[in-house]
């Protein structure tokens, strides 16, 4: 067998699907085998591979074993003369494997081979070729000299920026995203070092290949797309620690005592500086919005109180100081929690989330207000006027933040409109456009672009060869390639032709419900999928929790009346407090024994379930399973409300599974 391709996957199902499509296209005419080693993904990756790529050798680990260990499992089973370690967030050209195999046959001294990589916007990825991170190279990298002088032979060694990106070079380090290795060389050097969990193992293996007397080559005669950064947020503290700890392991293993100590000192400095920067940035970005909300809400209530005293009592001082020092902060606390539960403190906020959070908070405040003794009720009017102020101020703050910093905060006042051109034939283009119409954007179709070089048929705005003119004339913001109708090689060639424009790129795999792309090396790729509103989404979890709290408060107020309708009265009161404190939910799955194998998102034990909308004699096992799956797949708060109304007599039932 000529080639064994090994892909380690972790929760990037849609990218893996696209990668495998390109791999099988590139394998034509070769004797190949493909391994996918899944590190305990929870996004349905294994099921997708079984259904769509049955010829793949699938290994599903029960825990995340890390990159090196997972690769080694497949390497031991691989029968190819050559091994390709390939990331799941890559797309290879149709000629990539043939071209690489031909080069390796002509260069017996080559132990390993890497190719030119571009990101999802067609930009060259400098990590396609690197040098060993010696203490000097690491120093230049850590303190930014390599970025300031990328083409310098001294300071730019980390990414070898002084070497021509379009020419073949002998290099020291190849990236693990695409690492082509002779199996015979691996038998001499040993497999990947499992001391490295993630990062560093490619550097270590590249170095051992050189030590064994072989050469590593950078080979730009073929190009791949690498949606770099899909599995890891590079600004996170965790990334900083894991990456630099990998460098520590490398230094301990390969450098002498003095050099190792110097290297580890540099690494420690880098960890502290980068971790401090990442933490500070994250805390600042995370805290600025709630702090602004707190400041402006409190200032607004101070003015409203003064205005209301003069309007109603014709004098100031009618409300005690406790109103501003205790009551207003309590109101603000409720609003901040309500805004948080409605997703108003995330990096991307839709305008509808803000009024929903504000009015939910106001409703909770009014309910609590009604439960307080007369001596502690100050003014319902101030609450109502204050609610309007909270709404205006919170929307204004988010709008201004989105104008100041579009990269770190986005406030979506209306659905995103994008002017899109689809490169593909009519049938596939219509399928892709129908997917776009069911996503979070409003697509404006500039037209279909013909993918071939032959004569253009009616109904197309031009051919792919005219792409730059099409973009300019039709004001295209995004190009979507139909992978069924255009080769990976043509996709990459077109992207490179458009480098320098502001247009975004996405690729729609055949027979898939996903459309994938990435803006740059530092951002996770945008993903268009059919809008299934899963209960597992963090926003929906917060909505559900807020709904539970609100219903608990309402049921507590109405309990003197409802207690005569509920079957188990004592348990009903206990359930109110259990749900309020988060030990249970008013609605959950039914039949815990039935759902164990369905891999549904986790929920708290429910007093009621979707099965309570049916008559008892209809709730058999198959129906319950289907109801649970539908409930988890397309969650709405109104569904919970409907279940509670229909099952109100059973609110005193023991939560399922307790």
Confidence class for position 171, pLDDT limits 50, 70, 90: very high
Residues 6+ away with beta carbon under 8 Å from 275? 237, 240, 241
Domain boundary among 342, 376, 411: 411
Q: Distance between CA atoms of 342 and 356, rounded to whole angstroms?
A: 7
Greatest Cα pair distance, the chain, in angstroms, is 95
Q: What is the pLDDT of residues 521-555, one digit of tens each?
A: 334 345 565 545 567 777 788 888 989 998 998 89
pLDDT at 166 over 70: yes
Alpha carbon distances (Å) from 463 to 436, 475, 556, 615: 22, 16, 66, 59
Q: What is the pLDDT of residues 5-30, one digit of tens each?
A: 999 998 888 889 999 999 999 998 89
* Spatial contact of 202 and 129, defined as CB atoms under 8 Å apart: no
In a domain, 77, yes or no: yes
pLDDT: is 95 or 134 the higher one? 95
Average pLDDT on 566-594 reads 86
pLDDT at 179 over 60: yes
Confidence class for position 182, pLDDT limits 50, 70, 90: very high
In a domain, 431, yes or no: yes
In a domain, 245, yes or no: no
Average pLDDT on 90-119 reads 94
pLDDT: is 243 or 430 the higher one? 430
Is 516 found in the same domain as 557? Answer: no
**Among the ranges given (68-72, 235-239, 637-641), the one the predictor scored with the smallest mean pLDDT:** 235-239
CATH number of residue 443's parent domain: 3.40.50.720
User: What local confidence, expressed as pLDDT, does residue 230 receive?
Assistant: 43
Q: Which two tokens stand for residue 538?
A: 């963090």
Alpha carbon distances (Å) from 526 to 53, 93, 274, 518: 24, 22, 26, 6
Q: Dump the DSSP string for 300-315.
A: HHHHHHHHHHHHHTSS
Q: Distance between CA atoms of 621 and 146, rounded to whole angstroms?
A: 63
Radius of gyration for the chain, computed over Cα atoms and rounded to the nearest angstrom: 30
Is 336 found in the same domain as 221? Answer: no
Is 121 found in the same domain as 10? Answer: yes
pLDDT: is 470 or 196 the higher one? 470
In a domain, 235, yes or no: no
Tell me what percent of the residues of the chain surpass a pLDDT of 70.
82
Helices 237-254 and 201-211: crossing angle in degrees, nearest 10, is 20
In a domain, 164, yes or no: no
Q: Distance between CA atoms of 416 and 446, rounded to whole angstroms?
A: 16
SS3 content of the chain, % helix, strand, coil (to 5): 50, 15, 35
Q: Distance between CA atoms of 43 and 227, rounded to whole angstroms?
A: 18
CATH number of residue 84's parent domain: 3.90.550.10
User: What local confidence, expressed as pLDDT, does residue 161 receive?
Assistant: 83
- Between strands 606-608 and 585-587, the pairing is parallel
Coil, strand or helix at 159: coil
Residues 6+ away with beta carbon under 8 Å from 28? 94
Is 420 found in the same domain as 356? Answer: no
User: What local confidence, expressed as pLDDT, does residue 658 receive?
Assistant: 44
Map tokens 């017996």 to a residue.
Answer: 108
Q: Dump the DSSP string for 621-651.
A: HHHHHHHHHHHHHS--HHHHHHHHHHTGGGT
Q: Distance between CA atoms of 572 and 498, rounded to whole angstroms?
A: 64
Boundaries of domain holding 495: 416-529
The dihedral sign for the CA sequence 559, 563, 566, 570: positive
**Among the ranges given (90-104, 195-209, 296-310, 459-473), the one the predictor scored with the smallest mean pLDDT:** 195-209
Quote the distance between the C-alpha of residue 74 and its chain's center.
27
Domain boundary among 212, 227, 242: 227
Q: Dump the DSSP string for 487-545.
A: -HHHHHHHHHHTBTBS-EEEEE-TT-SEEEE-S-TTSPPPEEE-----TTSHHHHHHHH
* Spatial contact of 188 and 213, defined as CB atoms under 8 Å apart: no
User: What local confidence, expressed as pLDDT, does residue 329 receive?
Assistant: 93
pTM of the model: 0.69
Is 481 found in the same domain as 380? Answer: no
pLDDT at 496 over 90: no
Is 508 found in the same domain as 478? Answer: yes
Average pLDDT on 229-236 reads 48
Average pLDDT on 174-198 reads 86
Is 63 found in the same domain as 203? Answer: yes
Tell me what percent of the residues of the chain surpass a pLDDT of 90.
35
* Spatial contact of 480 and 423, defined as CB atoms under 8 Å apart: yes
Is 369 found in the same domain as 496? Answer: no
Ranked by mean pLDDT, the top range of 105-114, 160-169, 458-467, 514-523 is 105-114
Average pLDDT on 93-104 reads 95
Helix (H) or strand (E) holding 410: strand 410-412
In a domain, 557, yes or no: yes
Of 415, 467, 416, the C-alpha closest to 446 is 467
Ranked by mean pLDDT, the top range of 178-182, 199-203, 622-626 is 178-182
pLDDT at 508 over 60: yes
Alpha carbon distances (Å) from 443 to 287, 299, 429: 34, 42, 13
Q: How many domains does the chain have?
A: 4
In a domain, 156, yes or no: no
- What is the average pLDDT score of the chain? 83
Q: Distance between CA atoms of 73 and 61, rounded to whole angstroms?
A: 10
Coil, strand or helix at 38: strand
Q: Is 301 exposed, middle or buried (0-12, 13-18, 19+ CB in 10 A)?
A: buried
* Spatial contact of 408 and 285, defined as CB atoms under 8 Å apart: yes
Is 397 found in the same domain as 346? Answer: yes
User: What local confidence, expressed as pLDDT, does residue 524 receive?
Assistant: 39
In a domain, 433, yes or no: yes
Q: What is the pLDDT of residues 371-414, one digit of tens each?
A: 777 777 788 889 999 999 999 999 999 988 888 876 566 777 76
Q: Dump the DSSP string for 263-279.
A: HHHHHHHHHHHHHHHHH
* Spatial contact of 456 and 450, defined as CB atoms under 8 Å apart: yes
Is 311 found in the same domain as 223? Answer: no
Is 292 found in the same domain as 214? Answer: no
Q: Distance between CA atoms of 476 and 138, rounded to whole angstroms?
A: 42
User: What local confidence, expressed as pLDDT, does residue 521 receive?
Assistant: 36
Q: Is 149 exposed, middle or buried (0-12, 13-18, 19+ CB in 10 A)?
A: middle
Is 423 found in the same domain as 407? Answer: no
Domain boundary among 378, 411, 444: 411
The dihedral sign for the CA sequence 333, 546, 533, 391: negative
Q: Distance between CA atoms of 87 and 182, rounded to whole angstroms?
A: 18
């Amino acid at each position: 067998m000529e080639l064994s391709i090994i892909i380690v996957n972790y929760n990037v199902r849609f990218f893996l699907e696209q990668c495998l499509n390109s791999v099988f296209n590139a394998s034509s005419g070769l004797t190949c085998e493909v391994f996918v080693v899944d590190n305990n993904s929870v996004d349905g990756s294994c099921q997708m591979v079984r259904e769509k790529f049955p010829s793949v050798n699938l290994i599903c680990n029960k825990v995340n074993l890390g990159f090196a260990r997972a690769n080694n499992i497949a390497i031991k089973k691989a029968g190819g003369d050559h091994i390709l370690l390939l990331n799941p967030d890559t797309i290879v050209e149709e000629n990539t494997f043939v071209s690489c195999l031909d080069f390796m046959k002509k260069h017996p001294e080559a132990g390993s081979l890497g190719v030119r990589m571009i990101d999802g916007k067609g930009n060259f990825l400098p990590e396609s070729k690197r040098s060993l991170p010696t203490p000097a190279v690491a120093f230049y990298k850590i303190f930014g000299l390599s970025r300031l002088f990328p083409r310098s032979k001294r300071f730019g060694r980390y990414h070898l920026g002084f070497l021509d990106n379009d020419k073949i070079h002998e290099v020291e380090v190849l990236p693990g995203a695409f690492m082509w290795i002779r199996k015979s060389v691996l038998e001499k050097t040993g497999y990947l070092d499992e001391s490295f969990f993630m990062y560093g193992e490619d550097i270590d293996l590249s170095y051992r290949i050189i030590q064994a007397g072989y050469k590593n080559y950078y080979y730009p005669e073929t190009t791949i797309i690498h949606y770099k950064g899909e599995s890891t947020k590079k600004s996170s503290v965790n990334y900083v620690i894991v990456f630099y700890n990998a460098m520590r392991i490398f230094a301990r293993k390969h450098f002498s005592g003095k050099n190792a100590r110097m290297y580890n000192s540099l690494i420690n400095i880098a960890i502290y500086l980068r971790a401090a920067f990442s933490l500070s940035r994250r805390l600042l970005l995370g805290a600025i919005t709630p702090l602004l909300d707190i400041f402006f809400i409190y200032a607004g209530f101070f003015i409203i109180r003064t205005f209301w005293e003069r309007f109603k009592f014709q004098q100031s001082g009618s409300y005690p100081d406790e109103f501003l020092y205790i009551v207003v902060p309590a109101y603000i606390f409720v609003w901040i929690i309500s805004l948080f539960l409605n997703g108003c403190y995330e990096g991307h906020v839709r305008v509808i989330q803000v009024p929903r959070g504000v009015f939910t908070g106001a409703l909770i405040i009014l309910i609590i207000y009604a439960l307080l003794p007369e001596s502690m009720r100050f003014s319902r009017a101030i609450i109502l006027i204050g609610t309007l102020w909270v709404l205006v101020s919170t929307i204004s703050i988010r709008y201004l933040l989105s104008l100041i910093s579009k990269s770190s905060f986005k406030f979506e006042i209306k659905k995103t409109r994008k002017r899109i051109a689809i490169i593909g034939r009519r049938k596939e283009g219509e399928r892709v456009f129908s997917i776009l119409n069911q996503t979070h954007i409003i697509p404006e179709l500039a037209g279909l672009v013909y993918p071939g070089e032959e004569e253009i048929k009616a109904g197309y705005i031009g051919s792919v060869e005219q792409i730059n003119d099409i973009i300019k004339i039709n004001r295209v913001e995004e190009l979507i390639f139909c992978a069924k109708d255009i080769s990976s090689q043509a996709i990459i060639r077109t992207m490179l032709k458009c480098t320098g424009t502001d247009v975004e790129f996405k690729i729609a795999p055949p027979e898939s419900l996903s459309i994938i792309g990435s803006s740059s090396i530092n951002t996770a790729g945008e993903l268009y999928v059919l809008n299934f509103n899963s209960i597992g989404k963090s926003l929906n979890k917060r909505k559900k929790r807020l709904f539970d709290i609100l219903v608990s408060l309402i049921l507590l107020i109405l309990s003197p009346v409802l207690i005569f309708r509920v079957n188990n009265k004592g348990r009903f009161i206990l359930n109110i407090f259990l749900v309020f404190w988060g030990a249970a939910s008013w609605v959950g799955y039914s039949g815990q024994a039935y759902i164990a194998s369905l891999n549904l998102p986790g929920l708290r034990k429910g007093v009621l379930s979707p099965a309570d909308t049916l008559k008892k004699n209809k709730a058999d096992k198959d129906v319950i399973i289907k109801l649970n799956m539908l409930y988890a797949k397309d969650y709405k708060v109104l569904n919970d409300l409907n279940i509670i109304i229909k099952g109100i007599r059973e609110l005193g039932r023991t939560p399922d599974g307790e």
